[in-house]
Structure 1
Amino acid sequence: MATIHRETLLDTAPDTGWAALRDWGSVHHRLAPGYVTDTRVEDDIRVVTFADGTVVHELIVSLDDDTRRIAYTVIGGSLTPAHHHASMQIRPETGGRSRFVWTTDVRPATLADPIAGMVDQGIEAIRRTLKD
């Protein structure tokens, strides 16, 4: 198994960042437009379509307003590793900014590099989108 961990500062207030992240059915509009081209929700499953055509089915495991954290696991779609679990979190920073934390565990470890590349692209889209 491999762990991919990324943190970045966002030029947005924590409540604004959390509102976008919490709206888990609107990733393609509020969080990472362009990188994610469509999101639809079927019960507690989020179906996400990426710009490269990859489609993943994600089971939402946790949505925690107190810690501003969402956790999910991939359960189907065109990218179905043996194991994929991730969490995203918005933490307050000084000056009214936010820290965005994205941690992903994936198995087999050979998928770490391609998944890390997707995470890095996603973070760039999020940074572009979440600016006050």
Structure 2
Amino acid sequence: MVGTAREERAFAHPTNFSIKDTFMASIHNDIPLPVPARDLWDAVRDFGALHLRLVPGFVTACMLDGDARIVTFANGSVAREVLIDCDDTRQRLVYAINSERLKHYSASVQVIAEGEARCRLVWIIDMLPNELAAYVQGQTKEAVVAMHKAFPA
């Protein structure tokens, strides 16, 4: 299947933030961080410590609830994120949100080493309705700012 010219350009020249506008919004974040991959992965996989280790300030509270975490964001919103998979070999975590506002929300976070002291965090969110994608993308940008503060150069 061949995508539109816009989609092909987006994948040929990836940027830090992009929204693929098709049947379902797909938000792609490719975030370089000045930290060893093992250290970042340790923070990502610590599912209940999001507010302490990965995005402090952006997330103000995080409480485990069975296979889920209840996340409170700095703007006051709350989400129940269900852990779908945590793969230590691939350094990849997948979670989903079920809510009245979102018909579908599935996200993956993968840590990719770039040498001994640097890595990239690839965070992909697939969601419906598409109309909420711009808001969610804005939130991810704030999360990235918090990540850079948690893992400074």
1:21-70 residue CA offsets vs partner (Å, 9 max, x unmatched): 11010000000000000000011011100000010001100001001111
Shift of 1:95: 4.9
Structure 1 residue 130 corresponds to structure 2 residue 142: no
User: TM-score normalized by structure 1?
Assistant: 0.94
Structure 1 residue 15 corresponds to structure 2 residue 38: yes
Q: What CA distance in whole angstroms lies between the structure 2 residues aligned with 1:104 and 1:115?
A: 9
Match of 1:88 in 2: 109
- Aligned-residue CA RMSD in angstroms? 1.3
Structure 1 residue 97 corresponds to structure 2 residue 140: no
Shift of 1:80: 3.5
Partner AA of 1:91 in structure 2 = I
Shift of 1:90: 0.7
Partner AA of 2:88 in structure 1 = D
Greater share of residues in strand: 1
- Which residues of 2 match residues 59-70 of structure 1 at below 5 A? 59-70=82-93
User: Identity across aligned pairs (percent)?
Assistant: 35
Match of 2:94 in 1: 71
Q: Which runs of 4+ in 1 moved over 6 A?
A: none
1:73-121 residue CA offsets vs partner (Å, 9 max, x unmatched): 0023xx7311111011111003520101110001011011000001111
Structure 1 residue 107 corresponds to structure 2 residue 117: no
Structure 1, unaligned stretches of length 5 or more? none
Larger radius of gyration: 2
